[in-house]
Homo-oligomer: A and B are copies of this chain.
């Protein structure tokens, strides 16, 4: 058992931990830093994998794969690292199979949801309400929002039940919850949903492929290379793989971070792993009760992802975009698929098995899942779908040291009582990870933001001279009153709300007009909640 001495030990070599390390070293290259990673690779919930493809072999993202232009932290990093992005392919007709057990399969050329006028109106009024609420939620301190206690006391499901009129929209919103969080609306605090939407700039941004939204771009060469390149910058010798942290012990002078193979003594620890994994570390002394409650009660979503490669992009040839939205059923494991053809032209589709469907299907044999996926694709896109080259899947719940994907959410009654523990340091321990972000929380960008924020906190303690006066003041203010009402940030981070609402009303008017006068193309596109033209 070795013992080593550092300034900062960072737990987790995902985007958050490596961003923290990079930020610290940029400000002071003399800091003694080590990054401890439980897995045998860097990248956390991003993972690029080579698969058999039309051109022999090609690489695909088996974890997080999208970025968007409003995700400033990840876009800045992408630019800094000299990586390229390319737009998600969305041309052609989308398949939509929702609307109860007897729903017909429909396909649409473009843009608004495939709803009847009544369902569309329902969707508009619901989104209008949500938008208004989102604008009032402070991401920094959601507990200061109007009706915060009430909204945190109900599930997203309860809010939907009380505010949505049509069964079809309820089904559609269930699918959205699954696709975005890997969780059911029954499992999530409504206030948490509002906070999460607000951190992204609005609910629609979570769902769309349009400019600024979460599914706008993909990353050439995959998203894991961001972590790989960061690790190279930080220095491979500073990143220890296969080193799961089992305990953190704080004394008056130091913190000791224990792994199976050694103890790392340091001044400050940054824990970046997801809350349910942070909860598995033994802390001495015990963490404050609020922090314990929080980490024990932020369930992680269940998301399985598959990539299926083909000799040709037959769906494109047939006028399909590759996007399918399918209702939960015993025959079809996935909720959504998209085109995943590689930048070098290897045709592929990507699909997601999410939420309770993932839990149901994860216990079956891989062959059964694959066969069900393929026969569903045949049903939706045609017989060519059966002639695939390779089917690869990733069940993140089964990956040790992940246990789920894409994000940990909050159950009802947690935000109000324990939110102040989310980012508040516990002695020498600082907290990062995308779940602690205030911009694009839950996304790659949020991971980076949280790592940089934790690095600022650490520098304020260890190297205050490395920070500007503004940075120092910001860190100290944030730490001084972690639970004080903020009030401002929620309103300011949602500038598009009214525009979207206005656009929706216009869209609805046009659609209703179309019902009478025939199709007119509307510019806005909707990836999940997409509609007829």
Contacts and interface: CB of A to CB of B under 8 A. Distances in A.
A406 to B, nearest CB: 15
Nearest to A277: B296
A329 interface: no
Contact of A286 (B158, B289, B296, B398): B398
Contacts of A61: none
A289 B184 contact: no
A72 B297 CA distance: 33
Interface in A355-378: 356, 358-359, 362-363
Interface in A446-462: none
Contacts of A494: none
A136 interface: no
A471 B279 CA distance: 39
A475 to B, nearest CB: 22
Interface in A327-379: 356, 358-359, 362-363
Interface residues of A, number: 48
A469 interface: no
Given A280-B280, A413-B184, A289 B158 contact: no
Interface stretch (A46-54, A63-71, A149-157): A149-157
A293 interface: yes
A292 interface: yes
B413 A362 contact: no
A412 B187 contact: yes
A367 to B, nearest CB: 18
A523 interface: no
A400 interface: yes
A211 interface: no
Contacts of A400: 286
A411 B158 contact: no
A342 B273 CA distance: 48
A166 interface: no
A353 to B, nearest CB: 11
Contacts of A289: 302, 358-359, 362-363, 395, 397-398
A369 B302 CA distance: 42
B411 A297 contact: yes
A299 B288 contact: no
Contacts of A358: 289
B286 A155 contact: no
Contacts of A180: none
Contacts of A184: 413, 417
B155 A154 contact: yes
Contacts of A363: 288-290
A466 interface: no
A380 B102 CA distance: 64
Interface in A114-165: 149, 152-155, 157-158, 161
Contacts of A425: none
Contacts of A185: 153
A392 B62 CA distance: 54
Given A158-B155, A187-B412, A289-B359, A276 B296 contact: yes
9 contacts: A152-B186, A184-B417, A186-B416, A188-B413, A286-B397, A286-B400, A289-B362, A290-B363, A356-B417
Q: Sort A-B residue pairs by CB-CB distance and give the 8 closest, nearest first.
A: A187-B413, A186-B413, A153-B186, A411-B411, A153-B157, A289-B397, A297-B299, A289-B362
Given A157-B413, A187-B411, A286-B397, 13 more contacts: A152-B186, A153-B155, A153-B158, A153-B186, A154-B158, A188-B413, A286-B398, A289-B363, A293-B404, A296-B403, A299-B411, A359-B418, A411-B411
